[in-house]
C-alpha cells in the first residue's frame, strides 16, 4: 500500500559512514533510504555573544540543500540573499535537539557548529540531519576527550529524529518524498535513546487530527527512534 512497498511501521535502510572529512573534528554521511546528508562538526573557541563569560558551551547547526538535491533544481540561498524561512526553522530545530543531551557546563565555553548539507533528498531531510548531526557531534566531543581538551564527557544518550504522518488515512513511519507530498498530517519527533521526548512537531495542513491519532503517531516514532539510535551507536563504537 505504501509507494515503496514498506510496512506501515517500517523504516528505510539506514547507513552511517564516519570520518568522511579530513578537516572536521567529527563527520559522517548518513543515508536514510535515498536521503543523503553530509554532516560535519566544527569546534570553535569563539562563542556567540549571549554566552560569553558564562563558562557554558553551545551547539548550533546550519542546514542547506545542494541545488540539485531535489528532483526540480532549487535556487541557491546565497543567490537569494538569505536562508529561507524553512531553512532557518530547520536549523533552529537541529540545534535545539542536539543541545538536549548536552551538559553545557561540562562542555565549557566553546561552540560546536554542526553543518548538515543534503546531497540528495527524498523526504525526512531534517530528521536525517538531526540523527547524523548527533553522530558528528559525538565524534567531535570524543576528539576533544582523546586530546584531553575535555576532562569529562558532556554528552548523554544518543538523540535521533524520525518523521511520521497520516498517509492515505493510515499512520505510517518514516515518510519518503512521495508520501510526504500527500500526507494530511506530518510529524517530526526527536527523542533520546532512553525514550525521553525532546521535540514534538505535529502539523496538519488544511485538516485536523484527533488526540488518538496523535498518540498512535508518537508510538510509531518510538519504534523508529530505536532503530536509528542503534545505528548511531554502531557508527560511533565501531
Cα separation of 40 and 37, whole Å? Answer: 10
Cα separation of 60 and 44, whole Å? Answer: 11
Cα separation of 199 and 127, whole Å? Answer: 11
172 binds its own copies (CB under 8 A): no
181 binds its own copies (CB under 8 A): no
Q: How far is CA 103 from CA 155, 184, 194, 200, 231, in A?
A: 6, 37, 17, 21, 23
Shortest Cβ distance from residue 42 to its own copies (Å)? Answer: 4
Shortest Cβ distance from residue 230 to its own copies (Å)? Answer: 19
Q: Which is nearer to its own copies, 2 or 36 (CB)?
A: 36
Shortest Cβ distance from residue 81 to its own copies (Å)? Answer: 5
Q: Which is nearer to its own copies, 146 or 205 (CB)?
A: 205
55: closest CA among 5, 105, 112, 128?
Answer: 105
83 binds its own copies (CB under 8 A): yes
Binding mask 96-125 for its own copies (x = CB under 8 A): x--xx-x-x--------x-x-x-xx-x---
Shortest Cβ distance from residue 35 to its own copies (Å)? Answer: 11
229: closest CA among 100, 91, 96, 130?
Answer: 130
Number of residues that bind its own copies (CB under 8 A): 65
Q: Which residues contact 36 (CB under 8 A, 6 or more apart)?
A: 29, 30, 118, 119, 120, 128
64 binds its own copies (CB under 8 A): yes
Q: Of 67-75, 125-133, 166-174, 229-237, which segment contacts its own copies by CB under 8 A?
A: 67-75
Residue of the chain from 69, 107, 129, 172 that contacts its own copies (CB under 8 A) = 69
Cα separation of 26 and 98, whole Å? Answer: 14
DSSP string, 173-188: ES--HHHHTT-SEEEE
CA angle 204/201/87 to nearest 5° reads 95
Cα separation of 32 and 13, whole Å? Answer: 6
Q: Of 78-86, 126-134, 163-171, 227-235, which segment contacts its own copies by CB under 8 A?
A: 78-86
Residue of the chain from 9, 17, 77, 233 that contacts its own copies (CB under 8 A) = 77
147 binds its own copies (CB under 8 A): no
Chain contacts with its own copies (rule: CB under 8 A): 21-24, 27, 34, 38, 40, 42, 44, 62, 64, 66-71, 73, 76-85, 87-89, 91-92, 96, 99-100, 102, 104, 113, 115, 117, 119-120, 122, 192, 195-211, 214, 218
Amino acid at each position: 500500500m505504501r509507494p515503496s512497498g514498506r510496512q506501515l511501521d517500517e523504516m528505510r535502510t539506514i547507513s552511517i559512514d564516519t570520518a568522511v572529512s579530513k578537516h572536521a573534528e567529527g563527520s559522517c554521511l548518513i543515508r536514510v533510504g535515498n536521503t543523503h546528508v553530509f554532516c560535519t562538526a566544527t569546534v570553535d573557541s569563539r562563542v556567540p555573544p549571549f554566552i560569553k563569560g558564562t563558562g557554558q558551551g553551545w551547539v548550533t547547526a546550519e542546514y542547506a540543500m545542494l541545488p540539485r538535491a531535489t528532483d526540480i533544481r532549487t535556487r541557491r540561498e546565497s543567490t537569494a540573499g538569505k536562508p529561507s524561512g524553512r531553512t532557518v526553522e530547520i536549523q533552529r530545530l537541529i540545534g535545539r535537539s542536539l543541545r538536549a543531551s548536552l551538559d553545557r557546563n561540562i562542555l565549557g565555553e566553546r561552540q560546536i557548529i554542526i553543518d548538515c548539507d543534503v546531497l540528495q533528498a527524498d523526504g525526512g531531510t531534517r530528521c536525517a540531519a538531526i540523527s547524523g548531526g548527533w553522530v558528528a557531534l559525538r565524534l567531535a566531543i570524543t576528539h576533544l576527550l582523546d586530546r584531553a581538551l575535555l576532562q569529562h564527557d558532556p554528552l548523554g544518550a544518543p538523540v535521533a529524529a524520525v518523521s511520521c504522518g497520516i498517509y492515505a488515512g493510515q499512520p505510517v513511519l518514516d515518510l519518503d518524498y512521495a508520501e510526504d507530498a500527500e500526507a494530511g498530517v506530518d510529524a517530526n519527533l526527536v527523542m533520546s535513546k532512553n525514550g525521553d521526548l525532546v521535540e514534538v512537531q505535529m502539523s496538519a495542513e488544511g485538516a485536523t487530527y484527533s488526540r488518538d491519532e496523535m498518540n498512535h503517531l508518537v508510538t510509531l516514532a518510538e519504534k523508529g527512534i530505536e532503530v536509528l539510535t542503534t545505528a548511531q551507536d554502531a557508527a560511533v563504537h565501531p
